[in-house]
Amino acid sequence: MYGVVPYFGSKLLAEAPISAAVSALGGACLYPLVGLNPAPGKFGAFIATLVLEGFASGALGLMLGAIAPTTDVALAMFPPLLVLMIVFNGFNIAEENAPRALALLPKLSFIRWASEGLAVNEFTGLKFSCDGPRRGPCCETGEQALERLSFAGATVRGAAVSQLRIIAGLYLGTLLTLQKNKPKFLSVEPA
């Protein structure tokens, strides 16, 4: 009954506030429980990063749902993609160490960009003490810790922009796939 663009646009507008609220509520509960950085502005950046990650996850689900022939196929495709995104999120395998065949995956991983944004948000400006017993090398600043994670020079804004690009790309891909696969009906002709 509806065209693809009005359907897709209304679906996004109707679901966006709920998705954002769920991500923000979870983050708001988690932030004080974990004891994350209380510096001004850190909480807002934390919540914004989580909301973007929630939108990106939903956008990937929409894209897989549009591509897959059945719900079962779409549900089967989601976990392997998430595992690859987690493996190549920058903490486990650095982007420069990714196999050539998967070199693009770290750039397309919304989990990587969310992890980077959250790490930069948390560690920037922190000072650590290297006194006392320790295992391995010590980082005296949050910036040194970020450098060890290959996140030197990264910003929360840069990670957010990358997440927004991924979200836009997934939404565009979903829209094009839905347009291509929309039901075809015979036109009514006069008698």
pLDDT mean for each 10 residues of the chain (191 residues) = 87 95 96 93 96 96 93 92 85 78 86 93 90 81 87 92 97 94 76 77
Cα–Cα distance for residue pair 23/37, rounded to 1 Å = 19
- Inter-axis angle of helices 110-123 and 42-67, nearest 10: 180
Task: Provide the pLDDT for residue 91.
Answer: 74
Q: What is the pLDDT of residue 1?
A: 67
Whole-Å CA distances, 15 to 29, 107, 168 = 22, 26, 16
pLDDT at position 186? 66
- Render the burial of 14-38: b for 16+ CB within 10 Å, e for the rest: eeeeebbeebbeebeeebeeeebbe
Beta strands in the chain (DSSP E): none
Query: Rounded to 5 degrees, what are φ and ψ at 134?
Result: -155, 165
Torsion of CA 20, 23, 24, 26, to 10 degrees: 160
- pLDDT score, position 87: 87
Rounded CA separation 35/135 (Å): 23
- In this structure, what DSSP letter does residue 41 have? T
At 105 the pLDDT is 85
Residue 143: closest CA among 158, 124, 159, 129: 124
CB 151 within 8 A of CB 120: yes
Residue 129 has a pLDDT of: 84
